[in-house]
Structure formats: C-alpha cells, structure tokens
Chains A and B, each alone.
Chain A
Amino acid sequence: MTKVESELTDEQLIAKILTEDKEYFGEIIVRYRDKLMRYMRRITNVDSAGAEDILQDAFIKIYKNLNDFDTELKFSSWVYRIVHNEVISTHRKNTSGIHKVSISIDEYELQNIIKDDFDITLTGEARLTKQYIQEALARIDGKYREVLILKYFEYKDYKEIADILKKPMGTIATLLNRAKKQLRKEINIISKNAYENE
C-alpha cells in the first residue's frame, strides 16, 4: 500500500477498482478488516477461524457487487450491511442463531453508554458496572442487541443503522428505545441478584 492509496476516500478507491486496477480492493480490505471482525464478534458467537471465513466470503461478495453500491449511502454502511447479512445467512445454515455472544467493552465504550440516557449510575465499582452491561447485552433480544451495538460500539448514527439493517429510520428509533428499556431492565435484575447474593 502506498501513501497515496491510503489517502484516497472509499468512493475514490471504488472508482479506481472499477476503472483502473482491481488490486486497489486490497486497500478496502485492509481498511475494514479490523472494524468488521470486531463487529462480527460482537453480534455472533462464531470463533476466530469461522469469523475469518465469513469475512472472506463477505469481502468477495462486496467485490462482486461493487457496481451495486449506492453512492447515496456511506460505503461503510453498505459494507456493514453485507457483513451483517453474511453473518445471518451463515447462522441460518448452521441453525444456531445469533445468541450467547460475549461482548467486550472498553472504558471509552462504557462511558459512552453510561453518559447516554441509560440512567445507569456508577454506584459500585466500574468493573462491576461493565460486567453487568456485558451480561445484560448478552441476555437481551438479538434485534435489540444489534441496534445497541451499532449505536454504542460502532458509533453509527440513525441513518447509518437504518441503511445497515435495511429498516426505516422510524423503526430504528423504536428499536433503540425498546432496546434501552430492555437493557436497563436486565441490568437492574442482574445488579439486584448480585446484591442479594452478597
């Protein structure tokens, strides 16, 4: 990868792939691999090898369908959508569904969740709060977990989430509201149980 390539926008890179050289696709892969791998690990319980396979298939799909990319969307939204669909179809084949995920949260993400409108107060140790949120996230419905992950872990706005999940923005707002309620409820149950067990 040259310095020039890394300075190009996604859209400029796509134009180059379509008109000049297919090798530019390598830069797209490098740019998105980590982000997509992290996203996949958050929405599914697949192991590293499985995740790599899914991601490889997703990138090939992205390559094949480059001409289908709608420039009105963010390229990242389109890429996330393909990966999301790939994960779903892989799980359908394996009939295991998206569940029992293990979501790691770093300090920045923890603060991002807490300072939002979750009404979570850090009464105990931050470590415990983090643990409660992790457990609660693993327990809530998959459709709610998905929107929360995109909003608080992938930092996507409403429009991007709507474009990734292919749902109207109004539906995303409703899903997020319900997701927050369910998460709050689960956190309360988990913390109450923990308090009673002490």
Chain B
Amino acid sequence: MLMKMNKNTQSDFAKDILQKIKKENVVITPKWHFALREYVLWLLILLSISVGAVSVSVIILHLLQIEIAIAVEASGGMMHYIAVWAPYLWLFLLSLFIITTWYNFKHTKKGYRYSYILVVLGSIFASFVIGAGLYFGGAAEHAERYAEQVSNGYYIGSQERRVRIWSQPEKGLLSGIPLDVADEKLESFVLIDASGKLWHIESEDITDSEWASINVAPKVGIIGMQKSADIFIACRIVPWAEPGERNEMRRQIEAMLPEGIKVNERNIFELRNSICEE
C-alpha cells in the first residue's frame, strides 16, 4: 500500500540526496555539453542526407544515361535487368543513410515527437530534391569516378555499364567509334568497338539523319543483327550522347541534313525496343 510521506521524511530524503551530491561531488553538466551533442547529431543528419543525395544523383544518372528499354529487352525482362544492372551500391548507400538519418533524428531533443514514417519519408524527399540538384551540378559523374578509383576497378560506373549493354552483338546491340565516315551516305562503314575489334557495318537500311549522326557523334550505338564474326547489319543508329549533350548534337546533325529535313522523323535518342523494323 502506498504511504503518504510526512514532511519530515520528505525533508530527510531531500537532505540525504543533497548530502550525497556534496559528498560525491556531483556537478551539474554544463549547457555546452548538451548543445554540442545536439550539434553533432544534426551534423550527422546533414551528412547522411548528403550521402543519400549523392546516391540519388548517381541513380538518376543511371536511369537517364542507360537506354532502359534496350537494356531490359537485351537482359530478357525487367527482373533480369534489375538483377544484373541495377546500381546496387548506390541503392544500398541510399537505404543505409536513410536509416542513419532516422536513427540520429530520433536521438535529437525533439526527434521523438515525429513518427518514424514521417522522418523516413522526409529523409527520402530531402535526398531526392538535393540529389536532383547535385545531378544537374555534375556531382554524379564525380561520385562515380571516385567510386571507380577507390574500388580498384570493382565498381562499374554507368558509362561502363552502358558500354557493356551495347556490346552484345549476338543480341543485336553493338557500339563503338565509326572510322573514316564519308559525308555522303554509303552502304557500309567500319566501326571499332570497346575491345578494339573492327566491325564491317552494313548500313543500307539507316536513315539520312542516322548517317549524319555517325559524322557528328564521336561514338554510336547500333541496333541490328550480327551476320558473321565481324559483319553487323545496322537497322538503327543511336548517337552516343550524354543527357546534357543531346540538344547540341541534334542541332549539329540537323545542320548536316538537306534543308527542311528534321531529326525528329524518328527520334534518334529515344528507343523503345531493339527490334529491327521491316
């Protein structure tokens, strides 16, 4: 049964504690100690969101740079594409730092007032908004280069992934640098692929603007069919451009075409499939 303490007992209890405080030299922790702890937590939160944002910027780079429709088809379906080509490192880092943000936020002075879902969603939102900004600022390329350096070649960047996707001639995908291409459209040209192999490309079926793109783009992707060990029949040619370079490249290609002909007769940058149309 609970007993109400009388005033004397209460005072004795208080005296005992005050004596203990004196005897054990208990001191009040200074304010700066708690302020520092709070600053460190917020610094860690900022750091976590920043790393998450960098991860998002690289994920955006992968999504925009790699021709997803082509890659999915060449991989044999979306699940296979995700299993082989998804940027796991960055997805892992994004998840990890969302958890770190949540954990640190929860330990701030007022962090407990917000629900976990709200904190996680807020963290994802912040990472995506800042990540999009970082992507346009070019941070994604820097992050990829850094990852390639520190991983000692284990990390495969979006550029290399794109090359690998476009280096499957048996699946109708080939890429490389066209050599000595004439301005006038010819029935064939020579291309050197990423491994240094020379290919004889039969180009009868390609459009004028695609031929012009061979002249303009330093590198091209080709959709078609492998005829023999070093002969490839092209039915589509895609200029190898970074997302930011496409408008300028389109302008250069159009400049090479006879007056009145626009590149958009068939969108040369956007590919829906890797099937050669009859």
Binding site for B on A (CB under 8 A): 1, 17-18, 22-23, 25-27, 29-30, 33-34, 37-38, 41, 52, 56, 59-60, 63-68, 70, 104, 162, 166-171
Which of A59, A68, A162 contacts B113 (CB under 8 A)? A162
Which of A33, A64, A67, A168 contacts B26 (CB under 8 A)? A64
Q: In B24-44, which residues have CB < 8 Å from any A CB?
A: 26-31, 33-34
Do residues A64 and B113 form an inter-chain contact, with CB atoms below 8 A? no
Given A37-B2, A60-B20, A168-B113; A26-B14 close (CB under 8 Å): yes
Residues of B within 8 A of A41 (CB): 2
CA distance A38 to B11 in the complex (A): 17
- In angstroms, how far is the closest chain A Cβ from the Cβ of B34? 5
Interface of B is mostly: helix
Which range holds the interface residue count of chain B?
Answer: 20 to 34
Residues of A within 8 A of B10 (CB): 29-30, 33-34
8 CB < 8 A contacts A-B: A26-B18, A37-B2, A56-B16, A64-B26, A65-B28, A70-B110, A104-B2, A167-B112
Which of B17, B112, B113 contacts A60 (CB under 8 A)? B17
Residues of A within 8 A of B2 (CB): 37-38, 41, 104
Do residues A63 and B21 form an inter-chain contact, with CB atoms below 8 A? yes
CA distance A64 to B28 in the complex (A): 4
**A58 to chain B: closest residue by CB:** B17
**A106 to chain B: closest residue by CB:** B2
Binding site for A on B (CB under 8 A): 1-2, 4-5, 7, 10-11, 13-18, 20-21, 26-31, 33-34, 109-110, 112-115
- In angstroms, how far is the closest chain A Cβ from the Cβ of B119? 10
CA distance A92 to B130 in the complex (A): 42
Residues of A within 8 A of B17 (CB): 25-26, 29, 56, 59-60, 63
Do residues A29 and B113 form an inter-chain contact, with CB atoms below 8 A? no
CA distance A23 to B14 in the complex (A): 10
Interface of A is mostly: helix
Given A37-B5, A64-B29; A29-B14 close (CB under 8 Å): yes
Residues of A within 8 A of B13 (CB): 29, 33, 52, 56
Residues of A within 8 A of B11 (CB): 1, 26, 30
- In angstroms, how far is the closest chain A Cβ from the Cβ of B168? 52
Do residues B26 and A60 form an inter-chain contact, with CB atoms below 8 A? yes
Residues of A within 8 A of B18 (CB): 22-23, 25-26, 29
CA distance A171 to B106 in the complex (A): 14
Do residues B115 and A171 form an inter-chain contact, with CB atoms below 8 A? yes
**B27 to chain A: closest residue by CB:** A64
- In angstroms, how far is the closest chain B Cβ from the Cβ of A30? 5
Do residues A168 and B20 form an inter-chain contact, with CB atoms below 8 A? no
Residues of A within 8 A of B21 (CB): 22, 25, 60, 63
Residues of A within 8 A of B27 (CB): 64
Which of B5, B28, B110, B112 contacts A18 (CB under 8 A)? B28
**B114 to chain A: closest residue by CB:** A168
Given A26-B14, A26-B15; A33-B113 close (CB under 8 Å): no
Do residues A170 and B15 form an inter-chain contact, with CB atoms below 8 A? no
- In angstroms, how far is the closest chain B Cβ from the Cβ of A58? 10
- In angstroms, how far is the closest chain A Cβ from the Cβ of B106? 9
Do residues B112 and A168 form an inter-chain contact, with CB atoms below 8 A? yes
**B106 to chain A: closest residue by CB:** A166
CA distance A84 to B115 in the complex (A): 21
Residues of B within 8 A of A166 (CB): 112
Do residues A67 and B31 form an inter-chain contact, with CB atoms below 8 A? yes
Residues of A within 8 A of B20 (CB): 56, 60
Residues of A within 8 A of B29 (CB): 64-65, 67-68
**B17 to chain A: closest residue by CB:** A59
- In angstroms, how far is the closest chain A Cβ from the Cβ of B49? 21
- In angstroms, how far is the closest chain B Cβ from the Cβ of A31? 9
CA distance A59 to B21 in the complex (A): 10
Given A63-B21, A66-B28, A67-B28; A30-B14 close (CB under 8 Å): yes
CA distance A1 to B8 in the complex (A): 11
